[in-house]
Chains A and B, each alone.
Chain A
Amino acid sequence: MIQAIAFYLFAIIVIGSAAMTISSRNPVHSVMWLILAFFNAAGLMVLVGAEFIAMLLVIVYVGAVAVLFLFVVMMLDIEVAQLRAGVARYAALGLALAVALAAEILIGIGAWSAGGLKISQRIAPIDGNVPNIQAMGQLLYTRYLFVFEAAGFVLLVAMIGAIVLTHRQRGGVKGQNISRQNARRPQDATRNVQPPVGQGVQL
């Protein structure tokens, strides 16, 4: 009963906020709707018992990705009218994508109603009693170890690539020398003088 109420609540909010993400006029509002959608998707994950995925969804997407989105969008001075002008140009492409996605959903539902996947047909069946994190760890670090490490390498390469692309050495820039800053004492910077009356201070 409560599960059903929660499911429909989360599902309706996900769909509604996803629609608002693409239809709201203000880009910052769009990002906020997107965050709401992420959040309720995490709620749906909790309902199906995948609490680890739900928490990761919130930490990664809401906590990191959406913050960066918001950062960029806040800084931009976006003209809504300009954005509106682009809609007609990309309408055909958008429509094609929408049709493709709708077809995928329909095919998925069709396959499901033709007979859902049996648990025994899962590629890597796990014991139902172990917690989420343990189950994922057991699979990731035993059966899929090499795939997992390959994914790690791809991410590492991407990270190094991003650093190489954006890092450039410019001449004529004064860098900070932290150890020199820390080694500086008041005696190095100030000097007590007692100037005689009527005479200035020699600097």
Chain B
Amino acid sequence: MTDFFNHTVGMSYDWAWFVATIVGILVIALPLMLAVAMIIYADRKIWAAMALRRGPNVVGPFGLLQSFADGLKVFLQETIVPAAANRVLFLLAPIITFTVALIVWAVIPFQAGVVLADINVGLLYVLAASSLGVYGIILSGWASNSKYPFYSALRAAAQMVSYEVAIGFVLISVVLWAGTFNLSGIVEAQRAIYRFLPVNGFGFNPLLFPMAVVFLISALAETQRAPFDLTEAESELVAGYQTEYSSMSFALFWLGEYANVLLMCALNATLFWGGWLPPIDWAPLYYVPGIIWLFAKILFFFFVFSWIKATVPRYRYDQLMRLGWKVFLPLSLFWVFLVSGVLMIHRVGL
């Protein structure tokens, strides 16, 4: 796109790059907002179907416009800031959550060469941005100046920090296998991983499959989805860190949360299941555009997330911490050794 603005429109290279980047951001962010609205609807429908209910079915055909109606309603409400709250941080917190959920999409490759920022440290950027996500929640809990949000913020902080460690080690084993931090490079490294079996994706490798499972579960914990949604455990903490929020600030939390869930599904697809590659390395499948494959995988993982939300009861807090520190952390650390050992034998020899 830089070329288009540089040569066709005739801007200098700097400004062409600048305008192209802005356009790229809009092309990713605006459909993402639409996707988040629809995915909230899908989540409610899946959840309802598993509970033998109808789910949203009033607004628009099949209730398709429910999310937009909710958005409009929330937009027209008054933003209430509690008198004892720290006003600036209270309003800043949802914005941080929302922004952080969006910025990671910059490095997700949608197709060969279709990525906003094709940087060498793509996966580190993902880690860095996801480590920022905790600030929105901590700040909202503290700035609300209310006990339930504060408890929730403490839980969220401990939870996200714990599971980030496991995610970090999982990502390291993927990076070791792929030999690059660049996400497009990682997808490309998953093409036809076996000579005898034409499959695309590290998840089909029995050595890396357990890491795919650990990553999926850690992603649930990282996005605070059920069964790890202790931060908004309504039986103990009212609504957790969102308790004092209303109107658009509440909506921003929701949008950020679902954008994060979609992001984790996209990372699952990209890191372990071949991203924009078709699952089977067979020529006719490559006629389907890569972006369709990526979206199909994202939607599949989103369905898995909803399925888990509908069927699994909530964890106890000490169980959550135990799973993170005593099970996933040693397992993923051991796997880093295992993967690097196998790679040494494979590439260098004994």
The interface of chain A, by Cβ under 8 A from chain B, is 1-2, 26, 28-29, 32, 35, 51-52, 55-56, 58-59, 62-64, 67, 70-71, 74, 131-133, 176, 178
Given A52-B121, A74-B138, A133-B120, verify A62-B318 contact (CB < 8 Å).
no
Is B208 on the interface with A (CB-CB < 8 A)? no
Q: How far is the CA of A178 from the CA of B142 in the complex (A)?
A: 33
Q: How far is the CA of A118 from the CA of B181 in the complex (A)?
A: 31
Spot the interface stretch: B63-71, B127-135, B253-261, B336-344.
Answer: B127-135
Are B119 and A176 interface neighbours, CB within 8 A?
A: no
Are B17 and A2 interface neighbours, CB within 8 A?
A: yes
Given A1-B14, A63-B131, A176-B318, verify A71-B157 contact (CB < 8 Å).
yes
Given A52-B124, A71-B157, verify A58-B138 contact (CB < 8 Å).
no
Are B157 and A133 interface neighbours, CB within 8 A?
A: no
Are A63 and B128 interface neighbours, CB within 8 A?
A: yes
What B residues does A58 contact at CB under 8 A? 128, 131-132
Who on chain A is nearest to B143 by CB? A28
Are B121 and A133 interface neighbours, CB within 8 A?
A: yes
B124 CB to closest chain A CB, in angstroms? Answer: 4
What B residues does A51 contact at CB under 8 A? 119-121
Chain B interface residue count: which class?
20 to 34
Are B135 and A35 interface neighbours, CB within 8 A?
A: yes
Q: How far is the CA of A176 from the CA of B134 in the complex (A)?
A: 29
Who on chain A is nearest to B182 by CB? A131
B160-190 vs A: 1/0 string, CB under 8 Å?
0100100000000000000001000000000
* Residue from B89, B131, B322 within 8 A of A64 (CB atoms): B131
Are B14 and A2 interface neighbours, CB within 8 A?
A: yes
Apart from A52-B121, A55-B124, A67-B161, 16 more pairs, CB < 8 Å: A2-B15, A2-B18, A28-B86, A28-B89, A28-B142, A29-B89, A35-B135, A55-B127, A62-B132, A63-B128, A63-B131, A63-B132, A63-B164, A70-B135, A71-B154, A133-B121
What A residues does B204 contact at CB under 8 A? none
What B residues does A55 contact at CB under 8 A? 121, 124-125, 127-128
What B residues does A28 contact at CB under 8 A? 86, 89, 142
Who on chain B is nearest to A57 by CB? B128
A148 CB to closest chain B CB, in angstroms? Answer: 16
What A residues does B121 contact at CB under 8 A? 51-52, 55, 132-133
A53 CB to closest chain B CB, in angstroms? Answer: 10
Are A59 and B120 interface neighbours, CB within 8 A?
A: no
**Can you name 24 A-B pairs with beta carbons within 8 Å?**
A2-B14, A2-B15, A2-B17, A28-B86, A28-B142, A32-B139, A51-B120, A51-B121, A55-B124, A55-B128, A58-B132, A59-B127, A59-B131, A62-B128, A63-B127, A63-B128, A64-B131, A67-B157, A71-B138, A74-B142, A132-B120, A133-B120, A133-B121, A133-B181
